[in-house]
Amino acid sequence: MKCTRCRAQAEINLRSHHSAFCRPCFILFFQRQVERTIKKEQMFTPEERILVAVSGGKDSLALWDVLIAQGYQTAGLYLDQGIGEYSVHSREKVERFAALHNTLLQIVSLAEEAVSVPTAAQFTNRVPCAACGTMKRHFFDQYAIAGGFSVLATGHNLDDEAARLMGNVLHWQTEYLAREKPVLQPTHPRFVRKVRPLYRLSEMETAVYAFFRGIDYVIEECPNSGGATQLFYKEMLNKIEAQMPGTKSSFVQEFLRSAQPLFVAPDGTPPRECEVCGMPSFASVCSFCRLVQEVERKREKQKSSHHKSESQQV
């Protein structure tokens, strides 16, 4: 097969794009697709400073790589979740990538700044992914504001978007559907714009990009892999895609074009500020601070009952 662009030997065949590419042309194609999405959706301009949330996986590092290559002003933000070996490995990959590109990287250790994901899950009876999500959102916003960034970019790809859309549609989560957009404008001065520049590129395409660019990323999945349901939806969507190529993309695109505007977020009161941390919140104390407080309370209780049983033993 020949490269659609330069007629050299193709290395990758993109059925849903009716194209095949050699290595350099695929890299160009991928970067241009991202650039087009950024422009079309007015995600950000070269004048803005962009905080890229990086996990060490292929998607977020591929995104960061493209943004650096296109000359955007970026910094990485890595949240060390304290999930054993997985966090150790993913942190190493992110640090190596940042060093290689000589670019800014902010590392936040959840264990130091708040509480690690496993501890939070253990003390609050939450599933790890729920605790992780709450803390991620909090620190993403906090560090974006603190660092003077106007935009937070995440590496969600088409498969992530389609799986999330499928889950929200199967249960008709209309409030979530109302916020399911590649660009979310801030609803409070301490929130920043949130963007997903890879939302039109498939998981396979980001994986190929990362491979062609020689990006060294963490391959293992998070061991909590709360994504069990997400993975299941992805599998379903891959079966549909195999039967009807292009469906995954049109499912997401057509949703954004013709259905998404129908789902209007309930107006309600704008967020106020959390009494503890000062970040935007709908309750007097934000969900992040409530989580941390709950862990502290239960830790204290455990300690004191531990003390009691020790003194009883004496």
**Residue 259 touches a copy of itself, criterion: CB under 8 A:** yes
Binding mask 184-223 for a copy of itself (x = CB under 8 A): ----------------------------------------
**Which residue blocks in the chain are alpha helix, DSSP H?**
23-40, 58-69, 84-100, 110-113, 117-124, 128-146, 158-170, 174-178, 203-212, 228-243, 247-254, 287-313
Interface with a copy of itself (CB under 8 A), residue total 23
Using CA atoms, how far apart are residues 263 and 177, in angstroms rounded to an integer? 6
Q: How far is the CB of 255 from a copy of itself (least distance, A)?
A: 5
Structural tokens at position 278: 């000062």
Nearer to a copy of itself, 103 or 247 (CB): 247
Q: How far is the CB of 263 from a copy of itself (least distance, A)?
A: 7
Q: Among the candidate windows 22-30, 115-123, 206-214, 258-266, which touches a copy of itself by CB under 8 A? A: 258-266
For a copy of itself, which residue of 28, 130, 236, 276 counts as binding (CB under 8 A)? 236
- What kind and span of H or E run contains 14? strand 12-14
**Residue 263 touches a copy of itself, criterion: CB under 8 A:** yes
For a copy of itself, which residue of 148, 262, 309, 314 counts as binding (CB under 8 A)? 262
Nearer to a copy of itself, 257 or 299 (CB): 257
**Residue 100 touches a copy of itself, criterion: CB under 8 A:** no
Cα 250–chain centre separation: 22
Residue 258, burial from CB neighbour count under 10 angstroms (0-12, 13-18, 19+): exposed
Q: Which of 265, 271, 291, 311 is nearest to 134 (CA)?
A: 291
Using CA atoms, how far apart are residues 101 and 96, in angstroms rounded to an integer? 9
For a copy of itself, which residue of 243, 269, 309, 311 counts as binding (CB under 8 A)? 243
Rg of the chain on CA atoms, in Å: 21
Interface residues toward a copy of itself, by CB under 8 A: 169-172, 174, 177, 229, 232, 236, 239-240, 243-244, 247, 250-251, 254-255, 257-259, 262-263
